[in-house]
Structure 1
Amino acid sequence: MDAHGFTPPPDASAADAEAQLRAADWHAFDARRDLEPLRAALLRLEADDGVTDAHRFATERLRERGALLRHPGGLRGDASSHALSPDGRYFAIGSWTGDDHQRGTIQVWEVATARCVNVLDEIPGGVGWPERFRNLQWSADGRLLMGELGTGGIVGWDPFADRAEPTAAATVRPRRPVGFALSPDGSWIFLHRCDGNTSTQSGTSAGLVPVAGRGDPDTVPPPWWPGDAAPHLGLNGAVLIPQVSWFSAASDRVWMFGEWQPGTRPDSQYGAALASIDLRTGQLDWFVETELDGTDNAHRVALSPDESMLVLHHGDTLEFLHPATGNRLGEVEAPFRTARLTWTVCQGQPRLAVVCAEIGMESSVKIYEGVDQLCSLMQVPQPPEPAFSDGIALAWSPDGERAACLNEGGNVEIMTVGPKHDYVDYFDAPKESRGLWWGAGDVIIIAGPRNLMFRNLTTGETIGDFRYPPDTGTDRPLWDNSQDLGRHLHPDPTFAIDADRWVAAFPEGVVIAPSGAELLDHNLAWSIDRRHAWPYRWGPVEPAPGVAACFETLDPAARAILAPLRDRPTAEPVVEWPPPNTATVDVLYDAIGESFEAFSETWLPHVMDATRRIARQRARAGDVEAAETWLRQISSRDWDDYVRFKAEVALVLAANGNPRAGARLHCEAAIDASHGVSDSALPFVASAVGATFAALGHPERGQEWIQRAITAIDPDHNPWEHRIAVCWALLEGGLDDRARQLWTDGEDGEPADANGWLAHLIRIGRDDLMREILYDVGEDWYSFRDAVAVFTAAGRADLMREFFEYYSHTPDEEDIESLAEADRNAVTPRPNEFDIAELRHRRAELLRAPSSERRVDTIRLAWRAAAAQHYDAVLDMLKLLPYKDYDDQPETAVRSLWMALTGVDDDAW
């Protein structure tokens, strides 16, 4: 028995082990000290007796002290960054955000158990950048994990913390990406690009930045260099922009590789250099130049772990350099034009693997010991993928005596390395894999953008094999009508257990799983202090069939979010989608109004423009009260918009059967306009006021206003923006000839919403004017496909055939399908049977996509439902979109309204 009473001896029986654990003082339990020995002892006991009361009792005690249930899901998109901790015990994975900009994620995995032990959720902007490597870096003691996020921020996290709040920050810069190196002690950042740097002193665009506490960018000091260093002799003010860099173990030197800033080194025939900065003096104390070679420059340099050698890949040669002096130690012919370089140390001697980065070359790994080639490995390594820049197809064992190679054929070979190397193991890997890492305890990690695998070489067992996010077409266990409530929880408890089934695993230990979910233990683990995994099977393994069966045992925050599912039966029959179409277009107006309430000044121009157009559409439909309600959203403080909106709504009312309401608003608008508006607003306001006089039967009173509008047209403001708005007002007022003259005079360029204008003319029954625009005035405005798209959406196959005939065009296969679709769209009422079939098909496709990557297709499905006038289906899709940014739920609702009214994705007139 150990000194603290937590680890039963190897020969203990199940009863003795349980008695010992019950007698132990669990208040004194220290996970870092006691967990791993206890876990090992209970694994031995399980091998003899199965899961016993000793296992269950220990699990109960660990849960009482805060153990959390973890699952392998949670990444919202492709894995973007990977980093093995210096001691090889933990593996960190960072991902971008998927559809939700606030849901970047870092997972921390315990290598020995192949289980996720911590999740840092809600990282704004995601982690890392495609085609950039070392975006996640550990401090030497493993207590700090530093990474790039968002639009150039570099912050640090405690990898074992209970939340994603940064504990440190180096800088926040409006650059994408920045690039950095973390000092081993975690106190300094070498920042590759920074503002206000002392480049004439350092010879680099980079800066040395202290790591500030609490992750507050406002507390981060500017980059600086110690001392008052003179420029490097012969550098002549040139500036090097690093792409990759490393601190020395003592944090007194930085090595970097990058390109010369254009124009700063005109005397050099080279575009790049490897350089060293002595941080004690701030001087760039040596550099070696080389040619700039494509986008793979970050992988052309490697530093040996003992800091005795640097290697620089010149393309034709490999040059070995002394890190302290930059002196050449040797130069050999490069075996491959492009390669990945990775060092180890074997029995005190540095070894370098040069791994071919080209496709299909045999004998594509060369091993060097010192500067001499030691051997060739008969491998065909998996070529690197630019977006998976951390991945290398070869990993060294910690002692440098073995290597693992990920081959093109989707297998991994383990071999001893030397003049007579032997192959000692072989296993298959997921075909999507792109990189290897050799962790502590002889565990190999194999990863790709969407897969992760752990292989214990001692036992020959694959101890973890995960895909994220897998494609599954079934509804999730926390699905409510048309949305997944799990996405509102942090972290999201839902994950796919295989290609067909979902599970929800909550941190407090509640599991919702389908019957026969035998793979739970392969995916779940109790996380102790967010550092150590504890087998799930040692605790209560009684998954619930649905939320209703376990609702009262959930955490209060989860209960609040999942309340809609509280009384829902587990085996609720699948509801046919789309739902019955009981709503009218009014629900879209309501949805837009609700979504606009939360927006600040940042999005005001978008909100104002949409509000003006919505008020006009309400007026066109004859709903005076609704139109005026929307008008009241505009303050007189925004004078130009206030007057314009009122004048345009008055015109639409007067011209479409509401002369009394139109006259009342027109009187107000005319008085307001007489007080003056800006030059840019005058064409809009004056044309609407003048045309309303005509609509009310007094055209002579509007002549002066109309002439003022025409005179104020500024073709340089935005092409056709003024002119076509004046044309619109003249047509509304029944002044067709004036409108025709105005667009015949024309101007350069084309209107931004030309498709909407064509659709508007068809919508108001003016096919004659549509032909004038399409075949004469606006002939250059429309591509062939633009016109076909408008006719298709309008259900006007007759106009499409006329269009083909006008241009002597013989319909091809795509045209024939467009004609058929136009005929289908003409079938009323809508949604018709063709619409329903297509909506159902598109939603099935949507559900097969990873939930974190559904935003674009969800928006498109909302638009398609709107075009089909299926408003209940539109609302279902809107519920799935975030509402904090205008370009998510609010803009989708607005554009859905335009689609419903006109059939085209363009602003409605």
Structure 2
Amino acid sequence: MPGPFANFSQVTGCSDAELEALAEHADFSGFVPGRDLAPLRERLLRLERERGITEVHRRFSDKVLAAGARLLETPRYMGMRRSFALSPEGRHLAIASNRLGGSQGGDLRIWELATGRVVDAVGFETTGVGSVWDPSCLQWSTSGEWLGVILDDVIVGVLRAFAGTPPCFTADVTRRWGSPPAWAVINPEHSKDQGHLPAWCWSPDESRLFISTPGPDGALGCIVPIREGARINEDSEGLRWCPARLDGKPSKSQPHTWVRWSPDGSCIHGYCKDEFVSDPNVDLEHEPTRSSASVIDVRSGDLLYRLDLPLRPDVVKLLVAFSPDGTHLAYGEDPPRLANGHTGRTMANLARRARVRIHSVAECVWSRDGRRLAVLINEYDHPKALIFEEGTLLCVVDLKGRRLGLSSRSHDLLRWAWSPDGSMGACLTLENSGFQEEIKGGIEVWKVGPSPGFLRRFEYASRIDGLAWGADDTLVGTGHHDMAFWDVNTGQPRFQASFGLEPDGTVVGPPGSREESATRRMFSVEGRHAWPWRWAEGLPRMQYRGSEE
């Protein structure tokens, strides 16, 4: 095996003797971290479990880190996590959090799912990052090379993922036009410099952003060209406002609170929850809130349609979900409906399709290919997930004896997560056993098909309120202060921690010790892949740049 290492997948099954020969003689000039690091790391972890840290670990570390790496430490505790985004290939999770103790600033970190460790981090000393109440404040670009995030509730900042550098492009286009919602602003002229948190999205080719914000002449947002190094505001050249006319007339709609650009680039679909009213003659206290879904034609900037959405006045929730490509729209609670995403026309009453009365809908979650839809029914002592395939009931996942888990406030991650291929689903549940000081819950994993089957259950005792199913059979559970990664196939946790503080200020987290700290220190190779610091400790090389304690 000595010589150029063209096929690192062979490392997984090689003997200790072959591994030692490779460490001594292999040519690493063709080493590609994205392809080769993971199998090599897995083989060395097995060697460490069997024999401890050896000279082989140090020799490989010397070669893997020769091109330079950044030393990072996965924190033992941090401020409240506010926004979450799974990378397009499903191997990394970006998390925006505030600083501990209510101090200004925040942090944007990227976690590698395979190791449960931070591989990239950008700190903001005085700038707020993300939002705890609003979805999609943190988003990956289509290629996964860029991250966009809301800064200080007003600005969209774009930065290179895995580079450890601050934003290289910002768009601040909201300040001139006032701030929804209705209880905060009656007349936009009274709030010229306050701004508001805008919904936004990437264009498929990553050349533009759409930012949903009130604009001139009733516009519902603007299309912003991305130019690296630029600082765009509402007076910059190249900005294009979307007039949002409907059938040639002003639509009287309000800016969306969630938006996505269609994969073909032709339109922007979104919805608005709790539309505000800017007429000073309207009694805001007694005016019922409105909600709607609509689609903006990118070429003209006008609305293709507007669909008023049902919203129960006694429940502060909006049940609406566009399919990933925007061709379908699931909405409503009693009964839920399926509509054409391009026209807004109703295609099916899902309750009739299921031949049951559907009420107390908790969530609607599409699979990544948009072929399947999970409708979570929260009937307290008898919750279930109705699975539809292309609008037809496929099966019922019965969660009898459980309750649906806690619901996140931002809805970045939901209580149901689809496997990447849509063949399995995971659901967040709680024990149905009255009030308990410690919240005990579990994640149930099911095979989804004409004959659904229960596969396994992961137990947890923390405030997990969102799920994501990543690549390499990794299931992620997150909360404001808690996080866990599981191996779906074995049920074994890859990483579990609580990052919050007790009321007296003590840390709640993994047991503290120098040895434990060593497991949290990682070299970040290419900003994407974690390499254990303990394997390289004591090496004389000085090219390993940077550190974050």
Aligned match of 2:530: 533
Aligned match of 1:395: 417
After superposition, residues 570-581 of structure 1 pair within 5 angstroms as none
Give, in whole Å, the separation in 1 of the partners of 2:508 and 2:65. Answer: 25
- Please tell me whether the aligned partners of residues 74 and 105 of structure 1 are also in contact (alpha carbons under 8 angstroms): no
Give, in whole Å, the separation in 2 of the partners of 1:64 and 1:23. Answer: 15
Aligned match of 2:254: 240
Write the deviation string for residues 71-129 of structure 1: whole angstroms up to 9, x where unpaired: 32176411001110111110011112344755300110111222111111125432222
Tell me the SS of whatever aligns to 2:257.
strand
Q: CA deviation at 1:292?
A: 4.6
Give, in whole Å, the separation in 2 of the partners of 1:327 and 1:56. Answer: 63
Aligned match of 1:316: 334
Give, in whole Å, the separation in 2 of the partners of 1:77 and 1:140. Answer: 28
Aligned residue type for 1:137? Q
Aligned residue type for 2:33? A
Q: CA 1:355–1:71 in 2, change beyond 3 Å: closer, same or farther?
A: farther
1:168 aligns to 2:169 (yes or no) = yes
- Please tell me whether the aligned partners of residues 497 and 523 of structure 1 are also in contact (alpha carbons under 8 angstroms): no
- Please tell me whether the aligned partners of residues 68 and 526 of structure 1 are also in contact (alpha carbons under 8 angstroms): yes
One of 383, 392, 395 as aligned partner of 1:375: 395
Give, in whole Å, the separation in 2 of the partners of 1:156 and 1:296. Answer: 35
Aligned match of 1:336: 359
Aligned residue type for 2:121? V
- Please tell me whether the aligned partners of residues 238 and 260 of structure 1 are also in contact (alpha carbons under 8 angstroms): no
The normalised TM-score by structure 2 is 0.80
Q: CA deviation at 1:402?
A: 0.9
Give, in whole Å, the separation in 2 of the partners of 1:221 and 1:364. Answer: 52
Give, in whole Å, the separation in 2 of the partners of 1:419 and 1:26. Answer: 49
Write the deviation string for residues 5-49 of structure 1: whole angstroms up to 9, x where unpaired: 583645544344333334344455432343234324434555665
Aligned residue type for 2:208? W
Give, in whole Å, the separation in 1 of the partners of 2:198 and 2:76. Answer: 26
Give, in whole Å, the separation in 1 of the partners of 2:7 and 2:251. Answer: 64
- Name which one, 1 or 2, has greater alpha-carbon Rg: 1
Aligned match of 1:585: none
Q: CA 1:89–1:385 in 2, change beyond 3 Å: closer, same or farther?
A: closer
Aligned match of 1:567: none
- Please tell me whether the aligned partners of residues 245 and 257 of structure 1 are also in contact (alpha carbons under 8 angstroms): yes
After superposition, residues 640-659 of structure 1 pair within 5 angstroms as none
Tell me the SS of whatever aligns to 2:109.
strand
1:355 aligns to 2:367 (yes or no) = no
- Please tell me whether the aligned partners of residues 261 and 267 of structure 2 are also in contact (alpha carbons under 8 angstroms): yes
One of 424, 430, 448 as aligned partner of 2:461: 430
Q: CA deviation at 1:183?
A: 2.4
Aligned residue type for 2:330? V
Write the deviation string for residues 455-504 of structure 1: whole angstroms up to 9, x where unpaired: 011233211011113449799xxxxxxxxxxxxxxxxxxx97635x3x6x
Give, in whole Å, the separation in 2 of the partners of 1:384 and 1:406. Answer: 9
Q: CA deviation at 1:269?
A: 9.7
Q: CA 1:294–1:89 in 2, change beyond 3 Å: closer, same or farther?
A: farther
One of 72, 89, 107 as aligned partner of 1:87: 89
Write the deviation string for residues 722-773 of structure 1: whole angstroms up to 9, x where unpaired: xxxxxxxxxxxxxxxxxxxxxxxxxxxxxxxxxxxxxxxxxxxxxxxxxxxx
Q: CA deviation at 1:156?
A: 1.2
What are the ranges of 5 or more consecutive residues in structure 2 without an aligned counterpart?
175-193, 352-356, 432-440
Write the deviation string for residues 690-711 of structure 1: whole angstroms up to 9, x where unpaired: xxxxxxxxxxxxxxxxxxxxxx
Aligned residue type for 2:461? P
- Please tell me whether the aligned partners of residues 444 and 454 of structure 1 are also in contact (alpha carbons under 8 angstroms): yes
User: Across the two proteins, how many residue pairs are aligned to each other?
Assistant: 502
Give, in whole Å, the separation in 2 of the partners of 1:59 and 1:556. Answer: 15
Q: CA deviation at 1:197?
A: 3.4
Give, in whole Å, the separation in 1 of the partners of 2:324 and 2:364. Answer: 13
- Please tell me whether the aligned partners of residues 519 and 534 of structure 2 are also in contact (alpha carbons under 8 angstroms): no
Aligned match of 1:463: 494
Q: CA deviation at 1:159?
A: 2.1
Q: CA deviation at 1:341?
A: 1.5
Larger RCO (CA under 8 A, 6+ residues apart): 2
After superposition, residues 400-411 of structure 1 pair within 5 angstroms as 400-409=422-431, 410-411=441-442
After superposition, residues 836-855 of structure 1 pair within 5 angstroms as none
Tell me the SS of whatever aligns to 1:240.
coil
Q: CA 1:213–1:11 in 2, change beyond 3 Å: closer, same or farther?
A: closer
Give, in whole Å, the separation in 2 of the partners of 1:557 and 1:460. Answer: 35
Tell me the SS of whatever aligns to 2:338.
strand
Give, in whole Å, the separation in 1 of the partners of 2:527 and 2:26. Answer: 23
Q: CA 1:22–1:297 in 2, change beyond 3 Å: closer, same or farther?
A: farther
Give, in whole Å, the separation in 1 of the partners of 2:448 and 2:226. Answer: 40
Aligned match of 1:224: 240
- Please tell me whether the aligned partners of residues 170 and 210 of structure 1 are also in contact (alpha carbons under 8 angstroms): no
1:127 aligns to 2:129 (yes or no) = yes
Give, in whole Å, the separation in 2 of the partners of 1:496 and 1:22. Answer: 43
Q: CA 1:296–1:437 in 2, change beyond 3 Å: closer, same or farther?
A: farther
Aligned residue type for 1:214? G
Q: CA 1:14–1:172 in 2, change beyond 3 Å: closer, same or farther?
A: farther
Aligned residue type for 2:510? D
Aligned residue type for 1:418? G
- Please tell me whether the aligned partners of residues 69 and 545 of structure 2 are also in contact (alpha carbons under 8 angstroms): no
Q: CA 1:5–1:231 in 2, change beyond 3 Å: closer, same or farther?
A: closer
Give, in whole Å, the separation in 2 of the partners of 1:90 and 1:103. Answer: 23
Give, in whole Å, the separation in 1 of the partners of 2:102 and 2:27. Answer: 45
Tell me the SS of whatever aligns to 2:129.
coil
Give, in whole Å, the separation in 2 of the partners of 1:230 and 1:461. Answer: 50
Q: CA 1:125–1:269 in 2, change beyond 3 Å: closer, same or farther?
A: closer
- Please tell me whether the aligned partners of residues 168 and 216 of structure 1 are also in contact (alpha carbons under 8 angstroms): yes
Write the deviation string for residues 645-682 of structure 1: whole angstroms up to 9, x where unpaired: xxxxxxxxxxxxxxxxxxxxxxxxxxxxxxxxxxxxxx
Higher helix share: 1
1:256 aligns to 2:274 (yes or no) = no
- Please tell me whether the aligned partners of residues 278 and 284 of structure 1 are also in contact (alpha carbons under 8 angstroms): yes
Aligned match of 2:185: none
Q: CA deviation at 1:378?
A: 2.4
After superposition, residues 18-29 of structure 1 pair within 5 angstroms as 18-26=20-28, 29=31
What are the ranges of 5 or more consecutive residues in structure 1 without an aligned counterpart?
476-494, 504-512, 543-552, 563-909
Tell me the SS of whatever aligns to 1:407.
strand
One of 148, 155, 158 as aligned partner of 1:156: 158
Aligned residue type for 2:220? S
Give, in whole Å, the separation in 1 of the partners of 2:142 and 2:467. Answer: 21
Write the deviation string for residues 509-538 of structure 1: whole angstroms up to 9, x where unpaired: xxxx2xxx4x34653333212210123443
CA RMSD of aligned residues (A): 3.7
- Please tell me whether the aligned partners of residues 323 and 370 of structure 2 are also in contact (alpha carbons under 8 angstroms): no
Aligned match of 2:203: 183
Aligned match of 1:384: 407
Give, in whole Å, the separation in 1 of the partners of 2:248 and 2:415. Answer: 40
1:498 aligns to 2:510 (yes or no) = yes
1:325 aligns to 2:343 (yes or no) = yes
Aligned match of 1:273: 292
Q: CA deviation at 1:419?
A: 3.7
Tell me the SS of whatever aligns to 2:245.
coil
Q: CA deviation at 1:447?
A: 0.7
Tell me the SS of whatever aligns to 2:430.
coil
Give, in whole Å, the separation in 2 of the partners of 1:445 and 1:369. Answer: 25
Give the percent of matched residue pairs that are identical in Structure 1 and Structure 2. 26
Q: CA deviation at 1:396?
A: 0.7
After superposition, residues 201-212 of structure 1 pair within 5 angstroms as 204-212=219-227
Aligned residue type for 2:466? G
Q: CA 1:109–1:278 in 2, change beyond 3 Å: closer, same or farther?
A: same
Give, in whole Å, the separation in 2 of the partners of 1:498 and 1:395. Answer: 27
After superposition, residues 332-731 of structure 1 pair within 5 angstroms as 332-333=350-351, 335-344=358-367, 350-356=371-377, 360-379=380-399, 380-386=403-409, 388-409=410-431, 410-471=441-502, 498=510, 501=512, 513=514, 517=515, 519-520=516-517, 522-540=519-537
- Please tell me whether the aligned partners of residues 456 and 463 of structure 1 are also in contact (alpha carbons under 8 angstroms): yes
Aligned residue type for 2:271? F
Give, in whole Å, the separation in 2 of the partners of 1:473 and 1:230. Answer: 52
